[in-house]
Structure 1
Amino acid sequence: MTRLTDLELFVRTADLGSLTAAAKAMDWSPAAASAAVKRLEATWGVAVFVRSTRSLRLSTEGERMLPHVRAALSAMTEAQAVVSKTRSALRGELQLSMPSDLGRNILLPWLETFLQRHPDLSLRLHFSDRTADLMRVPLDMAIRYGTLRGSAQVALPLLLNNPRLLVASPQYIARHGTPATVAELAQHEALSFMVGDEVPKTWRLCVQGQWVDAPVQGRRNANDSEVVSRWAVDGLGLAYRSQIDMAAHIAAGRLVHINPHWQGEPGDLHLVVPGRKQVTAAVRALRDHLVPLLAQLAAGSAQHKR
Structure 2
Amino acid sequence: MKMKALQDLDIFVRTVDSGSLSATARALDITPAAASAALKRLEAELGASLLVRSTRSLRLTPEGAVFLEHCRSALATLQEGQHALATGRTQVQGVLRLAASSDMGRNVLLPWLDAFQALHPQVRFRLQLSDRLANMYSEPVDAAFRHGEPPDSSLVALPVAPNNRRVLCASPAYLAQRGVPQKPGDLTQHDCLCFMLGGEVNDRWSFFRDGKEEAISVGGGHVTNDGDVVRRWAIAGRGVAYKAWLDVAQDLKAGRLVALCTEWQTEPVPLYMVLPDRRQLTPALRLLREFVSQACLDLQAAQ
TM-score by length of 1: 0.69
Deviations 1:254-278 (A, max 9, x none): 1111010121110100111111110
Identity of aligned residues (%): 40
Q: Provide the aligned C-alpha RMSD in A.
A: 2.5
1:85 and 2:82 are equivalent in the alignment: yes
Give the Å deviation of 1:200.
2.5
Query: 2:132 & 2:141 partners in 1: Cα distance?
Result: 14
Q: Map 1:265-304 to 2 at 5 A.
A: 265-301=267-303
- Find the residue that maps to 1:152 and give its secondary structure: coil
Corresponding residue of 1:61:
none
Matched, 1:227 2:229: yes
Ranges in structure 2 where 5+ consecutive residues have no aligned partner? 5-74, 86-90
Contact preservation (8 Å) 1:247, 1:300 = no
Q: Provide, for residues 283-306 of structure 1, a one-character-per-residue CA deviation record: whole Å limited to 9, x for no partner.
A: 0111111111111112334xxxxx
* Equivalent residues of 2:234, 2:240 under 8 A apart: yes
SS at match of 2:176: helix
Name the CA distance, whole Å, in 2 between partners of 1:113 and 1:80: 23
1:192 to 180, 191, 194: 194
Task: Sort the Cα spacing of 1:283 and 1:83 in 2 relative to 1 into closer, same or farther, 3 A.
Answer: closer
Cα separation, 1, equivalents of 2:251 and 2:117: 26
Residues 161 and 266 of structure 1 are in contact (CA less than 8 Å); yes or no, is this contact kept in structure 2? yes
What amino acid does structure 2 have at the position aligned with 1:294?
Answer: C
Distance 2:139 2:76 in 1: 26
The 3 A distance-change label for structure 1 pair 293 and 79 is: closer
TM-score (norm 2): 0.69
Gaps in structure 1 of 5+ consecutive residues: 8-77, 302-306
Alpha-carbon distance change, 171 to 85 in structure 1, aligned in 2, over 3 angstroms:
same
Partner of 2:105: 103
C-alpha displacement at 1:123, in angstroms?
Answer: 0.5
Q: Deviations over 1:23-76 (max 9, x none)?
A: xxxxxxxxxxxxxxxxxxxxxxxxxxxxxxxxxxxxxxxxxxxxxxxxxxxxxx
Counterpart mapping for 1:167-246 below 5 A? 167-246=169-248
Residue matched to 2:37: none
Q: Decide which structure has the larger Cα Rg and report it.
A: 1
Q: 1:140 & 1:225 partners in 2: Cα distance?
A: 22
Cα distance change of structure 1 residues 79 and 223 upon mapping to structure 2, 3 Å threshold:
closer
Q: Which digits, 9 at most, give the CA deviation of each residue in 1:184-222, with x for residues without a partner?
A: 211100001112222223111113321121010010111
Q: SS state of the match for residue 189, structure 1? A: coil
Q: Secondary structure of 1:194's match? A: strand
Query: Structure 1 CA distance, aligned partners of 2:76 and 2:103?
Result: 41
Q: C-alpha distance in 2, partners of 1:212/1:231?
A: 25
Number of residue pairs matched? 227
